[in-house]
Structures are given as C-alpha cells and as structure tokens.
Amino acid sequence: MSTSDWTTEEQAVARHAFETGKERSIAVLIASLQEQSKILDTPDSIWQFHDFLSTERYQYEGRSDFDVNNILFTLADMIKQKLISYDDLSGLDQKKMSKIKAMSMF
C-alpha cells in the first residue's frame, strides 16, 4: 500500500502502534539478555550470547524505520510476536485490519 492509501489518522495509528511495538521489543530483549547473562559460564556461552544479540540487533534495525509501503507486514509481524495487539490498531479501516490479521497467521 502506498501513502495515498492511508488517511492521516490511519498513519498516526500505524505509527503509534509501530513505535509501541519497537519499545516493547526492546523491553523484551533487555529481559531476555538479563536472564541469559546469568548463565554465562563458558567461552561457548559467551559467543552464543554474542550471536543472539547480533541476530536481535539485525532484526531490530530491519524494522526500525517506519515505512508506510511495508507497514502492514511490520505490524503483522509485531502482532505475531505479541509486541502489539489488535487494540493498538484501532482506527485502521477493515481492509487493512483484515490484511494484518491474515499476514499475522503465518
């Protein structure tokens, strides 16, 4: 969907949900890192921790920019990861909500 397919209000809803999802993803990551750091006891565990963090950084940076052309995919992914809920998307039209729901199933 292009920018012209979105009302100003819908873009605001999508942006707010997107920012909420990003904030929650960082909170989840911090909690995970705190738990994992408690069991660092071997060189292998340190490198696994590093690899995990590198992967998480790559994923975070991949979704760090609000792009209206791909936002439906991003929001569906955030739903799937439980970073946002459908309530966070209240204000989007039914067509967009249906697409997000369908994409979040896979």
Judge if pTM exceeds 0.95: no
Residue range 19-41, pLDDT digits in tens = 999 999 999 999 999 999 999 99
| Domain residue extents for the chain | 3-104
Q: How far is CA 34 from CA 13, 22, 29, 38, 71, in A?
A: 32, 18, 9, 7, 30
Residue type at 1 in one-letter notation = M
Closest CA to 17 of 70, 87, 81: 87
**Per-residue confidence of the chain (106 residues) as pLDDT tens digits?**
667 799 999 999 999 999 999 999 999 999 999 999 999 999 999 999 999 999 999 988 887 889 999 999 999 999 999 999 999 999 999 999 999 999 999 8
| CA atoms of 56 and 22, how far apart (whole Å) | 12
Please classify residue 17 by burial: count the beta carbons closer than 10 Å to its beta carbon, then call 0-12 exposed, 13-18 middle and 19+ buried: buried
